[in-house]
Structure 1
Amino acid sequence: MANSIASKNFTAVSNLHPNMANLKIIGIVIGKTDVKGFPDRKNIGSERYTFSFTIRDSVTHFVNATSWGSEDYIRSLSDSFRVGECVIIENPLIQTKELEREEKFSPATPSNYKLLLSENHSTVKLCSSYEVDAKLLSLIYLPVKESCDYYSLGDIVANGHSLDGKIINVLAAVRSVGEPKYFTTSDRRKGQRCEVKLYDETESSFAMICWDSESILLAQSWVPQETVIFAADVRISFDKFRNSMTATVISKTIITTNPDTPEANILLNFIRENKVMNPLDDEMDNYLKESMNLNTIVDVYTVEQLKVKALKNEGKADPFYGILFAYISTLNIDDETTKVVRNRCSGCGYIVNETSSTCTTCNKDSSGFKSVFLSFDMLIDLTDHTGTLHSCSLTGSVAEETLGCTVDEFLAMTDEQKTALKWQFLLERSKIYLKFFISHRARGGLRVSVLSCQLADPIEASRNLSGQRNVQ
């Protein structure tokens, strides 16, 4: 079957010319945008739909293709193939690129041309990977930029504001992939967002944001601490909320997963060698909160059952997770002698030494790098009818969601307001998602991190407390 595909008369991307007609092009899809709708000027009140993708047929040649048509046609065509798959394009219209205008929003390509696909004349057919030459499939592992043309994450942090707004290339490993978050804008458009944490030899954590479904879908395939990516043409910006630099995937961006380059192989060896030495600390769960899908946590426990399970798990390195219907019995947010808010390093998320203003993890002067942010960091007690879990960690964005206020809003409160806030939670039954980690340094040998804490639905709490879905 491979021979039947290879024997067909395909036109190479390098040979494209505007006068060509009735041609076929085969290539591997290396980039793809979301479907978008625009008002149809010819038919007032209706919309035309479009999406673009980039195909490659050799080491040095790739080209952008754009399709226009009705919503049903465009969505059906877009759903018929993904990044990393091979397609055959038949009867495209070849147009000369308007370089400055088009490469502002589309991936930069070596070709002087672009392909236009029409609903009535052009077709795109998906090829099975068994039908195509292995050399074509291997192109997915080659970055579209020179393999040495990239910034390390340390370079980005060090250059700081001078890179704000710049479009650059990044080579990094994937530390965590967040769950997609869906939202509706003020003008009722639906959107999505996914945060990926990257790292390399120079930085332990760096945020990359995906706003389109295609890049989010690609990111969901990445295995944390085992995947390296080369992100060509991402936008770097300074995030005032985080007080740190971040990367954003844009319509120009093409991401190569596990690139086959010497630089990527060096980084891959680094993350493999350091995977056991520097595991993600459970204390980081709330900083890296988006990597945890709460829907996968279904086991409901009592405090007593949790303590029994902890004894059974003693000596095991892997954490376990569960749901607890309990009261917050200790919440010292109005005690001046208790530290509720601490400085954290925006590079890695760990607490910064307040005396020396140094992050011991990144080993950097945080004040010099302007990489410190304030974060909730407190210990709470959780109590149900079977006992109490002491010193559970409630930090970061989980604490903000639980208390219903930001750190800045909390710091602006009077002591009376803090006390009133505390009593909104004390002795109110909550549904609490927890992570448990066996640790001899922790009180009772069990380290507990709160992943989510919301007031419980009385019916759900009653049903679970009566014994349904409890586990031993």
Structure 2
Amino acid sequence: MGTAICYTDMLFIFADIGSERYTFSFTIRDSPTCFINVNSWGREDYIRSLSESFRVGDCVTIENPLVQAKEAEREEKFNPVTPSCYKLLLSENHSVVKTSSCYEMDTKLLSLLHLPVKDPQDYYSLGDITANGQSLDGRILNVLAAVMSVGEPKYFMTSDKRKGQRCEVKLYDETEMSFPIVCWDNESIQLAQSWIPRETVIFASDVRINFDKFRNCMTATVISKTIITTNPETAEANVLFSFIKESARSGALHDKMEEQSKGSINLETVVDIYTVEQLKEKALQSDGKLEPVYGIIYVTACFKFVLKMNEMSNTCTFCSDVSSYSKSTFSSFDILVDLTDHTGTLYSCYLSDCVAEETLGCTVSRNELGCSYLI
């Protein structure tokens, strides 16, 4: 196998009774039209060493891989879609992956880092995603956008002592000034930390779009299928670069950022206390207007409904009962809660994501009852 550029990689851990099996997957590319997925299974030491030996954007040489026909319909649910009919398998005993130094890198390969793997015209604007709203919930789409801000990685520990991390990036374009995209894996988080806000454009292929009920907005999530191209060299990206420069020059971007910051809420300033009855009265007085009410309420919570994950098949037990089609999933709390005080009950309130984890005092991957939940 010749030298190629590493495009994306993901590390997974599969636990069996009494043992753990590790797998590492990444995608390589050596021409504008040719890229292929690479998989390796093995012991923890070997897989961790392999996964830490190179980063996205490095040039690697792979020796003695096994070439195997891929099962596209099954494998591409969780891996990047590639034009090749094959995949590469790495063996601990027979295969070798070598990383090229900065002096050995082929400039032709490095130029591929700025060429999207999908049609550069095949993407949704952020405004289109927001306008379509919940009709796009769960869809896998391509996004072209500029980076507004990059959040600090947030680290957490699951109840079975596995480390996790999360990083949220805010995107913008000509149609929408603040759109969140969330990274969960180490590689995409490291990549995001290299982006310069209001100077970087990304083309993210195959991100999952979801409606965040807690924040009442659409969001994107980097998944195992996602490949992100930083500062793509395409006509569409050049138009967006021009928008960035013009917005910065005219001060329009700064004005819009200030306008949005005025609409945000500092939780420390929330001091009004309400009863359930008072909140219901405010809702009746709103005449259907979606104006938020910020306040403190002292209630008893009743958790009334959850969906349980089948961890082996990575499917939802509810979805598998009603459909023969198994959608790919990611774990997150999304719980309906009834809130009750001495004046009444607010039914079917949503408790989601990080707020749910903080409230329940456990992570989404495993709670005290041994159940996993999903959106």
TM-score by length of 1: 0.56
Following superposition, the deviation at residue 25 of structure 1 comes to 2.3
Report SS of the residue matched to 1:281.
helix
Q: State which of 264, 269, 277 in structure 1 corresponds to 2:242.
A: 269
Structure 1 residue 259 corresponds to structure 2 residue 261: no
Following superposition, the deviation at residue 188 of structure 1 comes to 3.9
Sort the Cα spacing of 1:205 and 1:91 in 2 relative to 1 into closer, same or farther, 3 A: same
Q: Which residue of 2 aligns with 1:284?
A: 261
Q: Which residue of 1 aligns with 2:12?
A: 36
Following superposition, the deviation at residue 77 of structure 1 comes to 1.1
Structure 1 residue 114 corresponds to structure 2 residue 91: no
Q: Give, in whole Å, the separation in 2 of the partners of 1:334 and 1:98.
A: 57
Letter in 2 for 1:333: V
List structure 1 runs of 4+ shifted beyond 4 angstroms: 285-289, 372-376
Q: Which residue of 1 aligns with 2:191?
A: 218
Conserved? CA contact 2:146–2:201, under 8 Å: yes
Conserved? CA contact 1:242–1:373, under 8 Å: no
How many corresponding residue pairs? 289
Q: State which of 226, 237, 240 in structure 1 corresponds to 2:210.
A: 237
Following superposition, the deviation at residue 288 of structure 1 comes to 10
Q: Give, in whole Å, the separation in 2 of the partners of 1:78 and 1:200.
A: 34
Following superposition, the deviation at residue 87 of structure 1 comes to 0.3
Report SS of the residue matched to 1:203.
coil
Q: Which residue of 1 aligns with 2:4?
A: 27
Sort the Cα spacing of 1:189 and 1:285 in 2 relative to 1 into closer, same or farther, 3 A: farther
Q: Give, in whole Å, the separation in 2 of the partners of 1:264 and 1:154.
A: 16
Sort the Cα spacing of 1:285 and 1:236 in 2 relative to 1 into closer, same or farther, 3 A: same
Q: State which of 140, 143, 158 in structure 2 corresponds to 1:185.
A: 158
Q: Give, in whole Å, the separation in 2 of the partners of 1:91 and 1:374.
A: 62
| Structure 1 residues 299-314: aligned runs within 5 Å | none
Following superposition, the deviation at residue 183 of structure 1 comes to 1.5
Q: State which of 140, 154, 170 in structure 2 corresponds to 1:167.
A: 140
Following superposition, the deviation at residue 182 of structure 1 comes to 1.2
Report SS of the residue matched to 2:224.
coil
Deviation string for 1:397-453 (max 9, x for gaps)? xxxxxxxxxxx999x899xxxxxxxxxxxxxxxxxxxxxxxxxxxxxxxxxxxxxxx
Q: State which of 157, 167, 171 in structure 2 corresponds to 1:198.
A: 171
Following superposition, the deviation at residue 79 of structure 1 comes to 0.8
Deviation string for 1:296-333 (max 9, x for gaps)? xxxxxxxxxxxxxxxxxxxxxxxxxxxxxxxx9xx793
Following superposition, the deviation at residue 129 of structure 1 comes to 3.2
Q: Give, in whole Å, the separation in 1 of the partners of 2:46 and 2:19.
A: 15
Sort the Cα spacing of 1:136 and 1:245 in 2 relative to 1 into closer, same or farther, 3 A: same
Q: Give, in whole Å, the separation in 2 of the partners of 1:156 and 1:225.
A: 21
Gaps of 5+ in 1: 1-23, 290-327, 342-354, 358-365, 377-407, 415-472
Letter in 2 for 1:93: L
Q: State which of 130, 153, 178 in structure 2 corresponds to 1:157.
A: 130
Q: Give, in whole Å, the separation in 1 of the partners of 2:183 and 2:342.
A: 35
Q: Which residue of 2 aligns with 1:333?
A: 271
Letter in 1 for 2:44: E
Sort the Cα spacing of 1:187 and 1:154 in 2 relative to 1 into closer, same or farther, 3 A: same
Gaps of 5+ in 2: 280-285, 296-336, 344-375
Conserved? CA contact 1:243–1:373, under 8 Å: no
Sort the Cα spacing of 1:192 and 1:131 in 2 relative to 1 into closer, same or farther, 3 A: same
Report SS of the residue matched to 2:198.
coil
Letter in 1 for 2:4: G
Letter in 1 for 2:271: I
Q: Give, in whole Å, the separation in 2 of the partners of 1:227 and 1:60.
A: 24
Q: Give, in whole Å, the separation in 1 of the partners of 2:194 and 2:155.
A: 18
| Structure 1 residues 330-369: aligned runs within 5 Å | 333-334=271-272
Sort the Cα spacing of 1:273 and 1:176 in 2 relative to 1 into closer, same or farther, 3 A: same
Conserved? CA contact 1:168–1:236, under 8 Å: yes
Letter in 2 for 1:141: H
Q: Give, in whole Å, the separation in 1 of the partners of 2:153 and 2:213.
A: 22
Q: Give, in whole Å, the separation in 2 of the partners of 1:108 and 1:232.
A: 10
Sort the Cα spacing of 1:198 and 1:69 in 2 relative to 1 into closer, same or farther, 3 A: same
Report SS of the residue matched to 1:63.
strand
Letter in 2 for 1:28: I
Following superposition, the deviation at residue 274 of structure 1 comes to 0.7
Q: Give, in whole Å, the separation in 2 of the partners of 1:162 and 1:55.
A: 33
Q: Give, in whole Å, the separation in 2 of the partners of 1:335 and 1:233.
A: 43
Letter in 2 for 1:221: S
Q: State which of 95, 103, 112 in structure 2 corresponds to 1:130.
A: 103
Q: Which residue of 2 aligns with 1:56?
A: 29
Deviation string for 1:18-69 (max 9, x for gaps)? xxxxxx2211011111x222236xxx62222111110000000000001122
Q: Which residue of 2 aligns with 1:103?
A: 76
Q: Give, in whole Å, the separation in 1 of the partners of 2:262 and 2:342.
A: 27
Q: State which of 121, 136, 141 in structure 1 corresponds to 2:114.
A: 141
Letter in 2 for 1:161: Q
Conserved? CA contact 1:193–1:209, under 8 Å: yes
Letter in 1 for 2:203: F
Following superposition, the deviation at residue 254 of structure 1 comes to 0.4
Q: Give, in whole Å, the separation in 1 of the partners of 2:123 and 2:160.
A: 38
Q: Give, in whole Å, the separation in 1 of the partners of 2:261 and 2:226.
A: 29
Structure 1 residue 84 corresponds to structure 2 residue 39: no
